[in-house]
Structure formats: structure tokens, C-alpha cells
Amino acid sequence: MTLSLLINGSPHQVDAAPDMPLLYVLRDHLGLNGAKYGCGMGQCGACTVQIDGRAAYSCITPAAAVQGRRVTTIEGLSAKDGALSPLQHRFSPRR
């Protein structure tokens, strides 16, 4: 199935099963590795993304559930000029 997703402000067409966890779509299909696999049960927060501005666990969110919604990953928090957001800066070893 082809899913139409809006990730970090950019539209993407992804061939994936509708019940595939969003985490795998982000990492395996789109190469966005900021969200990590942790527990796989939505408890640890390693896979957290924003969906329409609210925190969500991508490991338990089916990819089809975010069609027509705005998904923001840690990579999408950067300013247009490439400057790191305060959150990204805290995770950066370059500080």
C-alpha cells in the first residue's frame, strides 16, 4: 500500500503495510534515524515524535494512522538555516 505522509514539512509517498509502526517507516524507508527503537511498547520514549504538535510513540503508532497529519522528528526541529534547536543542541556531542 502507498501511504502519503507529511514528515518534517515534506510530503513522502511510502510503500509500506498500513499497520507497520511509524518508527520503521521513518528509519527504514526514509532514513530518519533520530527516533530510536527502545522497548517497542511505548513506554521508554526513545521513539518519540510529534504528531500534529503532540508527543507520540512511533513504535506503537501504525503508519496509516498519520496520513493527513504533520509528523515532526528530531531531525525536523532544525531551523531553516541549519542551526540546531535547543533540544537538538542538548543531544549534540559538539557542544
**What residues does each domain of the chain span?**
2-91
Residues forming a β-bridge with 7: 10, 71
State mean pLDDT over 45-58.
Answer: 96
State mean pLDDT over 79-84.
Answer: 71
Is the pLDDT confidence value at 38 over 90? yes
State mean pLDDT over 29-52.
Answer: 96
Q: How many helices (H) does the chain have, and how many strands (E)?
A: 2, 5
Is the pLDDT confidence value at 78 over 60? yes
Average pLDDT, the chain: 91
Residues forming a β-bridge with 12: 5
Long-range contacts of 26-29 (CB under 8 A, 24+ apart): 26/58, 26/71, 26/73
Q: Is 2-91 CATH 3.50.50.60?
A: no
> Over the stretch 8-36, which tens digit does the pLDDT of each residue have?
999 999 999 999 999 999 999 999 999 99
